[in-house]
Chain A
Amino acid sequence: MIETHSLVKTFGLLRVLRGVELDIAEGEFVALLGPNGAGKTTLLRILATLSRPTLGRVRLAGHDLPARADAIRRRLGVVSHHPLLYGDLTAEENLRFYARMYGLTNAERRIAAVLEQVGLAKRRRDLVRTFSRGMQQRLAIARAILHEPEVMLFDEPHTGLDQDAAAMLDGVLRDVAATGRTVLMTTHDLRRALALAGRIAILSRGVIAFDKPKAQIEATRFAAEYDRAING
């Protein structure tokens, strides 16, 4: 569902991604870990069609990037630490706007459904600027699943959330993954990655330095393995 081969991204003289090899099957939930500056967000932005790869091959949902970016965007849901919402619009108006942008024919039904799914149905007519950070992040997930995408990309979705809001977000993430969607999530939180994902990859200095199914990872030794991957 997500394939990158020899993916390179440079910004001027700075080579951020140095040949990323990643292959994620349909329905997999992969957590991508790595220190700041490892290139996690750059990788996600390329997969999200927001940035062009310098070299290498990227395929998503059966389409090549950047040639078939439009087709990929239809099948892609993205949640980043920015909620991509408008504070001066209500929750419902935000979703209606995105429904029109995606050309949804069943917009009102989908809006009601996703608001119910993320537990914001009662706040649908409130301005988004009155929402807490956790509520905004839940609404961001509602926005991202509105068009029923096959692939979900989460870029550090827990950033800035308190414990309760993060736990609630975990529940929503589990639900999203349980629907059979392919999920790639970047995070700094080792414990959360192990708790949510079925596979862990570590990006270090622009390459995948570690990639194992959760079943093959011993939780108590994972912190040491992480250190080895990013320092080795």
Chain B
Amino acid sequence: MVEPKAQGSRRAGDQSAIGNPQSAIGDYLRAIGAIVAKDLAAELRSKELISTMLVFSLLVVLIFNFALELDRNARENVAAGVLWVTFTFAGTLGLNRSLSMEKDRGSLDGLLLAPVDRSALFFGKMIGNVIFMAVVEVVIVPVFTVLFNISLFRPWLFLVIALGTLGYAAVGTLLSTMAVHTRARDVMLPILLFPVAVPLIVAAVQASSGVLLAEAGKTIGTLWETIGTWVNLLIAYDVIFLAVAFMVFDYIVEE
């Protein structure tokens, strides 16, 4: 039933069956693309992650809206904080599930058995997490705008959200890979993640707040003078954690 192995031709056969080793970058990118496509296809069928993250983030926004009965001034001051609390909490939920589902099904081993640099697994999972967080953000931003009566449709704010989401997904994917091997993994990820993500969250909240207050004419100086430092901090954080993940993921993911 199984086709016979051609004696002595296996090594030569590697070249026909397996892509040319010289195209290592192509293989690397193909592996990242395969993981992202697989995660999206599986999520489109199950809707397990997105629905959990969406319902949770909508509830957080609603609870904050009813809990904080604020005038317009106060709302503008707390809006950025509420927005990032919502994004980070929902993101943590998704990050936790994304890796733990692989571990529970045993399919994490399947990924680790693939002959690609293991950092490709990190980037594949991280891009998937960024996409899931972005889907939640696309829904939450208009809902937030309606409930808090503050327009979030500002290009600079979208840039801040994109940089913050990338950094949070990067550090979150890295730490969830560590947490997934522990017994109390559900609580372990927030315990590991929140302290490490503090600089990112502070920068994201300050930059978002700066954009919103600048639009309301409540800042001194230009928009870039208000948020430039925080945006630079977000970029630096993203670059540092992407580089760290690239270097250490191989060691983290192993037993």
Contact = CB atoms under 8 A, between A and B. Distances in A.
B34 A48 contact: no
A205 interface: no
Contacts of A100: 30-31, 33-34
A148 interface: yes
A82 B102 CA distance: 11
Contacts of B33: 100
A110 B31 contact: no
Contacts of B109: 48, 50, 78, 80, 82, 84
A171 interface: yes
Nearest to A62: B11
Contacts of B105: 82, 84-87
A196 B70 CA distance: 74
B27 interface: yes
Interface residues of A, number: 50
A175 B1 contact: yes
A161 interface: no
Interface in A125-178: 127, 143, 145, 147-148, 150, 171-172, 175-176, 178
A76 interface: yes
Interface stretch (A30-38, A101-109, A209-217): A101-109
Interface residues on B, range: 35 or more
Contacts, number: 128
Interface in A73-89: 73-76, 78, 80, 82-89
A25 to B, nearest CB: 13
Contacts of A84: 105-107, 109-110, 113
A117 interface: yes
Interface in B4-35: 4-5, 7, 10, 13-14, 16-19, 27, 30-31, 33-35
A99 B28 CA distance: 13
A181 interface: yes
B42 interface: yes
Nearest to B19: A103
Contacts of B107: 82, 84-86
B17 A110 contact: yes
A143 B19 CA distance: 17
Interface in B25-64: 27, 30-31, 33-35, 37-38, 41-43, 45-46
A92 B152 CA distance: 43
11 contacts: A50-B112, A50-B254, A51-B254, A51-B255, A70-B117, A73-B114, A84-B106, A97-B37, A102-B115, A150-B5, A171-B1
Interface of A: 45, 48-52, 70-71, 73-76, 78, 80, 82-89, 93, 97-98, 100-106, 110, 113, 117, 119, 127, 143, 145, 147-148, 150, 171-172, 175-176, 178-181
Ranked 3 nearest A-B pairs via Cβ: A82-B106, A84-B110, A103-B19
